[in-house]
Structure 1
Amino acid sequence: MTAARRTLTPTDLAPYARTLGHTLDGVTRLRGGSKKGVYRLTFRDRSTAVAYVWSPDEDLWDAGPADPRDPFSHASGLDLFTAAAHRLAAAGVRAPRLLHADPSHTHLPADVALVEDLPGGTLEDLLDGDAAVETGVLERTAALLDTLHACTGPRFGKVAVVDNGGSSYGGSCEAVVAERALSDLDELPARDPRAAAAHPQLAEAIGALAAQVQPRTGPPTLIHGELGPDHVRVTPDGDLALIDIEGLMYFDVEWEHVFLRQRFGRHYDALRTDDTVGLDEARLRLYRLATHLSLVAGPLRLLDVGDFHDPEFMRGIAEHHLGLALSFLESAS
């Protein structure tokens, strides 16, 4: 297990304030950021910015080396962030504006980015509140999805790899998802007797669902990859911006919609846009089971190696999705 994260101090972050021509007055660690440190910097003139800090000390996953060609490899790092920020800007989708990027490790043993501090809360903060407010912000989120998903890439993979001409991972989106689902499944028997008992049936279900997916000839779609309401910031004037964008990739749009449906729940219907018309039901079924398995293995893996602040929350996610994976077998029988 990794040691508890040390919160960076004004002394640690003052040099980055100076790159923006400011004097640092205070530092606050912000909620979230299991793969990076996220800090609000308050300057002497009361303006603010946000610092993203990528270092092993800030990454609770202890993921080790990853193949950047794999669209599902550990989505953490300055290169991934800057490539995603540039791609979203070109697509007309807002993300926190990049103010300064420092890969030099001069002041900290870490890559650091300074981005604009967007006032307001997240979309998650506004849901289950005033119905009129919900309707308006969900309509704007649906429009954002239309804009995002109208963009395509030459092949599937992380934006940072594809847009820089990197080599392809090979295979197909559905093959990668099936492979990842089997890998996640193989982690579970040692962790839970219910998963051990159901392992053969779940492995068979993954193979059967993958076999039902027909090859796709169209280009892959630009997707966020983990787009929950907590990853959409809403400014006081109602503008929307995507955060935690390092996983931005070109992939099957069905992967995005499975995650949207999981995270938005009863609000998902409001997000149905033009791109939902042609969704492939066979892909959706495979990706749904794969997502459940990922959301069992991932949280349990994090609890094994990390210093997550709310372990019961993570255990709850794993328990919920294990139940859904097992009920998937019942519904398929």
Structure 2
Amino acid sequence: MTKLKFLILFYFFTWAAEAQELNFTVIINSDRSRIQNTDIFNQMKTNFEQFLNGRSWTDDEYRPEERVKGNLLITINDVPQIGFYNATVQVQVVRPVYGTNYESLILNFADRNWNFEYLESQPLEFNRFTFLNNISSLLAFYAYIALGIDYDTFASRGGNPFFEVANDIVNNAQQSGRPGWVQTQTDRRNRYWLINDIYVSTIYGSIRDAYYLYHRQGMDLIQIDPETAYKNILEAIKLVATANKLQPNGIFTITFVDAKSDEISQVLKSAPFEIRDEAVKLLLEVDPNNARKYNELLRS
């Protein structure tokens, strides 16, 4: 899929071709680090943003306004020694909805276990085919996850090329022995299980189909054909429920509802009652923790 759809002037073409694909904001919370001099964290923020936003991750051409927007929220939990950090990461990615100013949250993932070494003015290099360090591997992994999810919302399974690279990053990083890259049953909210459920496993393929149906055939039609949009959003929820029946509480299922539960509970308020009724029954099976939120749909 080509993001740059119209080329009008040579000048504009040159300017647009130079634009990168990502527009991420990195936020670093260092309150728990007990480090008085926060200059290192300001530098870290700048360096991480430059790594994400300053390089080309695809062969496609993007206008600046088409760049994939997201937040990387890094909480420094501990600094056991100088230059070594233990952290958690929250990754959030949004996508514009056609014909509106609204941005739909498409990824909201909490990565609970990341440790890394960072030295002042440290350059960050990345190689798809080898593990260089735990910073560039994690940042590149989520860059490709963000792109893959975004492309999946515009074309059916359009994110395959990016998920393939993300899977390569996980495979290469396993040699490091660092937490988050390996298969574990104690904490499935990690990078290994995220890419496994999205790309490697066949069980959750219907959730990827749901991303396209929900956004391109649902949210993007809300303003012009709400009847069709509501039906397609319901069909997307059915696809998620299908995957959940095959393998309950998978990390990809949880990731979907973490991103979409608030939005669904708002968007479907205007849907016909039969749509809301069927959607709520499915959502209570997939995401019982938000039962109160979904049951409100029946009172609208």
Q: TM-score if structure 2 supplies the norm length?
A: 0.30
Q: Which has the higher helix share?
A: 2
